[in-house]
Amino acid sequence: MGLQIFTYAIHKAGVADDSAMELIAAAGKIDSDAKVTAIVTGSGAELDQVCNTLSECCSEILKIDHEALAYPNAELIRKLLVKILPDNAVFLAVHDTFGMDLAPGLSVKTESAFVADVVEFEGVDGSNLKIIRQEYSGMVSTHVTCDISTGAVLTCRPGSFQPDEVTGAGGRVIDKSGEFGDISVGRRFLEVVEAEIGDVDITKSEVLVSIGRGIEDEDNIEIAEDLAKAMGADISCSRPIVDAKWLEKARQVGTSGQTVKPKVYLALGISGSFQHLGGLKGSPFIIAVNKNPKAPIFQVADVGIIEDILEFVPELTEKIEEG
């Protein structure tokens, strides 16, 4: 008999997030005979829509419908999961801002092992699950073993597991709303404040000149702006540039910034973290300039140039201006 694996499904406005299917695929990577149970929490009719979608992909869905779950407060959901999950359960969530909030504490409460940001599973050996993850901003990978004999809480990197083809699994939806009972927590959700809109909408740009920490100094941004002007492109950036307040937040590409879909993306001094690349959609043609030949950005770029951007970019601009 296979392992029983639980996945937590993220959804919005009645639509299951891509990650919900990715987790089901990830569970299959842990154990191809696994019995996969998706857990869906929320409130109202939207929830039924999500359960219907998921019933096509896994054998069982636990639905918890309660108005207190209308917004996913990780503190509440953690307590709920502690009630619902059987002893020694293997539980998967996605490594996003919700999973990061929920999962480490859940492993404490369920007394199980915890591994974050898994990029690959390589099966189970005895009671040890074999895992691949990355360290040092993706510059190196590691093999990790995780003793799952007393259960495990694992978060998976978004986009790392390809969803299986929908098989029409005909999954059973079980209503567990009664389990909610009278959970109360010391953190109350108030509201979501939407990110500010900037003066340029980089989500519409066809060509982006994007700068990262490699630009080194605020004064150097000018050289990227000159290049962008010569190319007829817009300027975008990675997170550290916004943290330093050198450019406005609306210029940031990535999971906690904008999702862009240009035709051409020129990455200057950007290492290529998964949070940054998570904001690049529609398979743009990526050209990366970086002085470190081992920078992870070269794994995903189409064309790579190993140069110091502070010297290379002004020369490039000059040549483009010459026509």
Ligand X SMILES: Cc1cc2nc3c(=O)[nH]c(=O)nc-3n(C[C@H](O)[C@H](O)[C@H](O)COP(=O)(O)OP(=O)(O)OC[C@H]3O[C@@H](n4cnc5c(N)ncnc54)[C@H](O)[C@@H]3O)c2cc1C
**Which residues of this chain interact with ligand X, rule CB under 6 A?**
97, 137, 212-214, 238-240, 252-257, 269-271, 273, 275-276, 279, 290-292, 295, 308-310
Q: How far is the CB of 170 from ligand X (least distance, A)?
A: 37
Cross-strand pairs, 40: 63
Question: 62 to each of 39, 55, 151, 158, 182, how far by Cα in Å?
Answer: 5, 10, 19, 22, 19
Nearest residue to the partner ligand X, using Cβ: 254
Does the footprint of another protein cover residue 237 (CB under 8 A)?
Answer: no
Q: Smallest distance from the beta carbon of 313 to ligand X, in angstroms?
A: 9
Does the protein bind another protein through residue 266 (CB under 8 A)? yes
Residue 160 interface partner, choices ligand X, another protein, none, CB cut-off 5-8 Å depending on type: none
Q: Which of 299, 292, 200, 309 is nearest to 252 (CA)?
A: 200
What whole-number distance in Å separates Cα of residue 228 and Cα of residue 234? 6
Q: Check residue 220 for interaction with another protein (CB under 8 A).
A: no
Instruction: In angstroms, give the least distance from the CB of 120 to another protein.
Output: 9
- Least Å distance, CB 276 to ligand X, is 3
Residues 6+ apart with CB under 8 A from 322: none
222 binds another protein (CB under 8 A): no
Largest CA distance in the chain: 72
Contacted entry of another protein, ligand X, none for residue 53, CB cut-off 5 to 8 Å set by kind: none
* Separation between Cα atoms, residue 246 and residue 100, nearest integer Å: 28
CA distance 138 to 306: 18
Out of 146, 156, 237, 270, name the contact with another protein by CB under 8 A. 146
